[in-house]
A = this chain, B = another copy of it.
Amino acid sequence: MSNTFGKDFKIMCFGESHGRCVGAVIDGCPAGLGLTEKDIQEEMDKRKPGQSKIASQRKEEDRVEILSGVFNGFTTGAPICLLVFNKDVKSESYEKIKQGLIRPGHADFTAFMKYGGFNDGRGGGRFSGRITASFVMAGAIAKKLLARLKIDVLAHTVEIGGIKAKKITLDEIKKNVYRVYKNEVRCADLKMAEKMLAQIEKAKKEGDSVGGIIEGIVLNLPVGVGEPIFGTLDGEISKALFAIPGVKGVEFGAGFPSTKLKGSQNNDLFLIKDKKIITKTNHSGGILGGISNGMPLVVRVAIKPTASIAKSQMTVNIKNLKQEKLEIEGRHDPCIVPRAVPVVEAMLAITICDFALSAQLIPRILK
């Protein structure tokens, strides 16, 4: 396994879905950042399920604990260990996997093979969406650091089960972003949010699931962030996003559809505005040559429909290589997109923060 990410703002994550805890150690956070458990708890609460009809009924009352690296309310420069102890864990529903039935669309098979059957399969173990709690904890610190540079990291749902949010302008996003976490699907377009919700509920009733697309945005990113040719801004962000379970695609700016445009349509022309160079359009998504160009960074993340479905599926028992029917019980989100929104924010923030440190945008001691 490789559970370390980052060069200057380095994180190492650990923990399992049904183990004792889920946590992260952050190494490289500058000294002098005001930080309390409450700061992190606020971000964690964004991924909290349980209050709605669509989310899994597991009550994650995740109480973040800071075990090191903070003294008198400020970061000390030492590594920061953050964790939440797991509560309300029911492993019985996972008996099927224990018996050897590998769930389609899940990592049960690959994890079994890679770790010789020694992996903790309960609740998906280290491959559960639960592990993204570590990302959100580390992301909370990254966001606080970026806030000092006035860099804003946002994410919102733009599509669920084929239902698309109205394409809104950045200005609207900036205005509406505070609403994102007010609706259950984390969508800035309140009208379509309702339809998305209905779509999820329908899938749930059918014992099925849906997927969707999340858009991540970074505002006020200065020109010059990114380390080509292998540490490109887009490359590192995509690597970070593929750490989120269920992600199957990542595109920047005009993305895949840009392949259908002519160069003359797709090129973003340079203009002068307020004595600064900007681009007229933003098909590049804020990145040229792997380096930020000062325009909003825009990335879209494809999330497949939840693999865990109530419907009966044919599968294989890995212990005897026989075909068997599988009916997954237990609590499962019919759509993980809404809960992945703060996770996309977190991974974006972590990646940008790492770049900001190596680009010397954030000093080693904060005042």
CA distance A25 to B1 in the complex (A): 13
Residue of B nearest to A79 (CB): B14
CA distance A251 to B251 in the complex (A): 8
B residues in contact with A28, CB < 8 Å:
1-2
B residues in contact with A210, CB < 8 Å:
262-263
B residues in contact with A247, CB < 8 Å:
234
Query: A302 within 8 Å of B by Cβ?
Result: yes
Q: Are B303 and A259 in contact (CB under 8 A)?
A: yes
Asked if A289 meets B12 with Cβ closer than 8 Å, knowing A211-B259, A235-B238, the reply is: no
Asked if A252 meets B254 with Cβ closer than 8 Å, knowing A242-B234, A267-B105, A293-B109, the reply is: no
Q: Are A69 and B14 in contact (CB under 8 A)?
A: yes
Query: A188 within 8 Å of B by Cβ?
Result: no
Partner among B81, B229, B236, B256 whose Cβ is within 8 Å of the Cβ of A23: B81
Query: A111 within 8 Å of B by Cβ?
Result: yes
Name which of A16, A105, A223 has the most chain B CB atoms within 10 A of its CB.
A105
Partner among B83, B125, B258 whose Cβ is within 8 Å of the Cβ of A302: B258
What number of A residues sit within 8 Å (CB to CB) of B?
147
Partner among B3, B126, B223, B268 whose Cβ is within 8 Å of the Cβ of A104: B268
Name which of A248, A260, A303 has the most chain B CB atoms within 10 A of its CB.
A248
Mark out the residues of chain A between 220 and 253 whose CB falls within 8 Å of any chain B CB in the assembled complex.
223-224, 226-232, 234-236, 238-243, 245, 247-253
Mark out the residues of chain A between 193 and 212 whose CB falls within 8 Å of any chain B CB in the assembled complex.
203, 206, 208-212
B residues in contact with A288, CB < 8 Å:
105-107, 109-110
0 or 1 for each of A9-36: is its CB under 8 Å from B? (1 = yes) = 0101111100111010101100110000
Query: A349 within 8 Å of B by Cβ?
Result: no
Q: Are A79 and B271 in contact (CB under 8 A)?
A: no
Query: A168 within 8 Å of B by Cβ?
Result: no
Residue of B nearest to A160 (CB): B259
Q: Are A109 and B250 in contact (CB under 8 A)?
A: no
CA distance A249 to B298 in the complex (A): 12
Partner among B19, B251, B293, B318 whose Cβ is within 8 Å of the Cβ of A71: B19
B residues in contact with A291, CB < 8 Å:
107, 110-111, 113-114
Mark out the residues of chain A between 106 and 164 whose CB falls within 8 Å of any chain B CB in the assembled complex.
106-107, 109-111, 113-116, 118-120, 125-127, 131, 159, 161-162
Query: A311 within 8 Å of B by Cβ?
Result: yes
B residues in contact with A360, CB < 8 Å:
360, 363-364
Q: Are B270 and A14 in contact (CB under 8 A)?
A: no
Q: Are B125 and A76 in contact (CB under 8 A)?
A: yes
What are 12 A-B contacts defined by CB distance under 8 Å?
A: A1-B27, A3-B27, A3-B229, A12-B27, A71-B120, A76-B115, A102-B270, A107-B291, A110-B288, A230-B240, A235-B239, A275-B321
Residues of A within 8 A of B (CB): 1-5, 7-8, 10, 12-16, 19-21, 23, 25, 27-28, 31-32, 67-69, 71, 74-81, 83, 102, 104-107, 109-111, 113-116, 118-120, 125-127, 131, 159, 161-162, 203, 206, 208-213, 223-224, 226-232, 234-236, 238-243, 245, 247-256, 258-272, 275, 277, 279, 283-285, 288-293, 302-309, 311, 313-316, 318, 321-323, 334, 358-360, 363-367
Known: A4-B12, A71-B118, A234-B248. 7 other contacts (CB 8 A): A8-B358, A13-B230, A23-B67, A131-B229, A251-B302, A258-B304, A270-B315
